[in-house]
């Protein structure tokens, strides 16, 4: 399948819902929190896949199906990798994948993308240590 948005064929096949604070003058008038579809070339399997795959994605407004932007050259919103503190208020803070919810957590000692699977893996490691 080749998705077509506003008459443009997209060479991408994986859809993710991304949510965050967008530049309100560019996407939604009078408020900045919103969700868009990010259509990427590669699948997001773990948290490390988020930054490279979302950076090369195309954004589509889910309510109208309209093309919004290409992530590589937009100022509407930024995506940051784990370990990269945000330098703007307009950034992706949540991604919904097929089987996980990932959040960008810029607070505390670690700045990272983390999801339920990451939490589960960390919990299992702690359980293993406690059993010893």
φ, ψ dihedrals at 60, nearest 5°: -130, 135
Please count the structural domains in the chain.
1
Give Cβ neighbours of residue 112 (< 8 Å, ≥ 6 apart): 47, 82, 83, 104, 105
> 92-120: per-residue pLDDT in tens?
999 999 999 999 999 888 899 999 888 88
Tokens of 89: 């208020």
CA 57 to chain centre: 10
> Residue 81: which domain range?
4-131
Nearest alpha-carbon partner for 78 in 106, 117, 41, 44: 106
Is the model's pLDDT at 12 over the cut of 90?
no
Position with higher pLDDT, 73 vs 6: 73
Position with higher pLDDT, 19 vs 65: 19
């Amino acid at each position: 399948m080749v998705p077509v948005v506003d008459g443009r064929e997209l060479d991408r096949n994986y859809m993710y819902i991304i949510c965050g604070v967008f530049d309100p003058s560019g996407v939604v008038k009078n408020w900045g929190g919103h969700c868009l579809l990010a259509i990427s070339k590669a699948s997001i399997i773990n948290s490390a896949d988020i930054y490279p795959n979302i950076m090369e994605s195309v954004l589509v407004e889910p309510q109208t199906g309209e093309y919004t932007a290409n992530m590589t050259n937009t100022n509407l919103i930024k995506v940051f990798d784990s370990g990269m503190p945000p330098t703007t208020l307009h950034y992706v803070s949540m991604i919904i994948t097929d089987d996980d919810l990932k959040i960008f957590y810029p607070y505390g000692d670690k700045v990272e993308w983390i999801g339920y699977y990451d939490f589960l893996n960390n919990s299992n490691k702690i359980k293993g240590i406690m059993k010893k």
